[in-house]
Amino acid sequence: MPQPRTTVVRALATTISAALLLTACGAGSRTSSSTAAQVDCDFPAPSKATSVNVLAYNSSAIDPFTNTMVKSCSKNQVTVKHEPIDFAGQVQKTTATLAGDTGTYDVVETYGFIIPKYAGEQKLRPLDEYVAEFDQEYGLSDINKAMRQAMSYDGKLYGLPMQAQMYVMAYRKDVFESLGLKPPTTFAELRDVAGKIQQAGQIKYPVALPLLASSDIATAYDSALGSLGVDYVDATTMTPNFDKPEAAKAFDELRSLAPFMDPQVTTFDQPRVQQQMYNGSAAVAIMFSGRMNDLTQASNSKFSQQFGFAPPPSVAGGDVLYNTLSVDGWSIPTNAAADPKMLFEMIASSVSADASKASVPAAYPARDGIVTPGSSPYAEAAQVSIGKAPPAEPHPWTSRISNDTRTVVADVVLGNTPVAEGTAQMQQIAAKILAEYKK
């Protein structure tokens, strides 16, 4: 019979061994390095050992840039650290790390939508002087001018663009061919196509859109409004546009797709829409381009070879599509502890020409000439889509209005609130936010 003391020692040893084994599994980079490229990252060694913490959400389009930075810049006494996190987590941690005099992160992933807010509050460091200094070394002039503009505020660059995402429409070629259908170019055509697929009886709910009521639905409404040629706010008079007829029409058009979508569509985020396409329960999906590469993987779906790609339709005809162009990039917080010049070299290396080439086809890099129509099955559609996206609204109030009106948008799309009442509520919410900026 074992002595109690021996048992305790054995239990202790087992626990310590298990703990060591688990920590060993997580040592080094916490993200998959399969998408990492090895590129030049030539910063001078700091005088003492330094840790650089990177905040960036995980997705197949962002990971190549993050992993390249971790792999290529962890040297010279510097350890670049990145913990896996989802987008919602990144949003919260960005708010928290930028708040005080000191922050947890030295490099944060940002996007055009939030740049005006944080740049206006001086929470991000302007990057223009570093771009001028390292332009030659990292070929920064090749970064698309419009994307640099999207990451700028008040004439200064606050985020070094890495990649862009825009809506792309994925559809089942086999289903469309068997019914003699063409990819729709307007919402009216989308309804027509979806009706015919429904009538054919193969697919009950042919259209799949990410309309998650707690998140994606605000982007969907903004895309519909933008396609109708209207911004959230008239920036010259600083008055909200939710009292315009287009604000109501955007709701009507989104709701007109309801008969062709899963009744539970307002619980679907992008991964769930992907899942609908993977398992064949939908025939048309409109999502950000960063989700398209997953559709083409045979390991994800037996229909991987059957997916065709096209630009998203416009809501009511015209050149502006049902679309949102989102430019992602790297920013350096004003309160970052590490040397900003060294941090800039790190972010510049992660968007270098080699790193950008390695990110294709998962991402749509910000450098001109990297993506060609032959780069991926959806590259051509993405290129058309990016040129026909509604213009960005680079103002500090945009993200706040989007956030604060989201619940109302969800209630209107779900039919809980009449359209007229919903737009009136949104007008009121937006006017209250704008009043703060008029002071």
Partner 1 sequence: MRRREFLGLIAPSVLVMGGLLVLPLYRTVEWSLQRVNYGEAGTFVGLDNYSAALSDPRLGRAVLFTVGLTAVVVATLIVGGYLLAVMVNGLGRSKPFVLGFLLISYVVPNIVGATMFSWLFDANFGGVVNHLVSTLTGHEVLWFIDPWPNRLVIALDTIWFMLPFSMLVIIAGLQGVPAEVIEASRIDGASTFRTHWSVIIPSIRGVLGFVAIISIMDVLRTFDQLVPLSPQATQIGNESIMLYIYNVAFQDGGQQLGLGSAINVLLILLIVILLYPFIRGIAKEARQA
Where do contacts with partner 1 occur on this chain (CB under 8 A)? 88, 91-92, 94-96, 99-101, 114, 212-214, 263-264, 266-267, 269, 272, 275-276, 279, 281, 403, 406-407, 410-411, 414, 416
**Which residues are paired to 51 by β-bridges?**
79
In the bound state with partner 1, the residue whose beta carbon lies nearer, of 178 and 264, is 264
Q: How far is the CB of 319 from partner 1 (least distance, A)?
A: 31
Between CA 207 and CA 82 the distance in angstroms is: 36
- Dihedral angle computed from the Cα positions of residues 136, 138, 144 and 146, in that order, rounded to the nearest 10 degrees: -80
In the bound state with partner 1, the residue whose beta carbon lies nearer, of 129 and 404, is 404
* 8 A C-beta contact, residue 52 and residue 21: no
In the bound state with partner 1, the residue whose beta carbon lies nearer, of 246 and 393, is 393
In the bound state with partner 1, the residue whose beta carbon lies nearer, of 181 and 409, is 409
Q: Where are the alpha helices (DSSP H) in 54-127?
A: 63-73, 87-97, 115-120
Cβ neighbours of residue 163 closer than 8 Å, sequence gap 6 or more = 61, 62, 65, 290, 327, 328, 356, 359, 363, 364, 365, 366
Q: How far is the CB of 172 from partner 1 (least distance, A)?
A: 16
In the bound state with partner 1, the residue whose beta carbon lies nearer, of 367 and 406, is 406
In the bound state with partner 1, the residue whose beta carbon lies nearer, of 79 and 104, is 104
In the bound state with partner 1, the residue whose beta carbon lies nearer, of 198 and 407, is 407
Tokens describing residue 230: 């209207």
* 8 A C-beta contact, residue 30 and residue 83: yes
Q: How far is the CB of 249 from partner 1 (least distance, A)?
A: 22
Comparing C-alpha atoms, which of 242, 251, 246, 233 is closest to residue 391?
Answer: 233
Q: How far is the CB of 400 from partner 1 (least distance, A)?
A: 9
Burial of 305: CB neighbours in 10 Å, binned 0-12, 13-18, 19+? exposed
Q: How far is the CB of 59 from partner 1 (least distance, A)?
A: 17
**From the centroid of its chain, how far is CA 431?**
27
In the bound state with partner 1, the residue whose beta carbon lies nearer, of 33 and 95, is 95
Q: Whose structure tokens read 């688990």?
A: 22
Cβ neighbours of residue 69 closer than 8 Å, sequence gap 6 or more = 41, 54, 80, 82, 107, 346, 347, 349, 350
Q: How far is the CB of 96 from partner 1 (least distance, A)?
A: 6
Cβ neighbours of residue 298 closer than 8 Å, sequence gap 6 or more = 304, 305
* 8 A C-beta contact, residue 161 and residue 144: yes
Q: How far is the CB of 90 from partner 1 (least distance, A)?
A: 10
Q: How far is the CB of 121 from partner 1 (least distance, A)?
A: 10
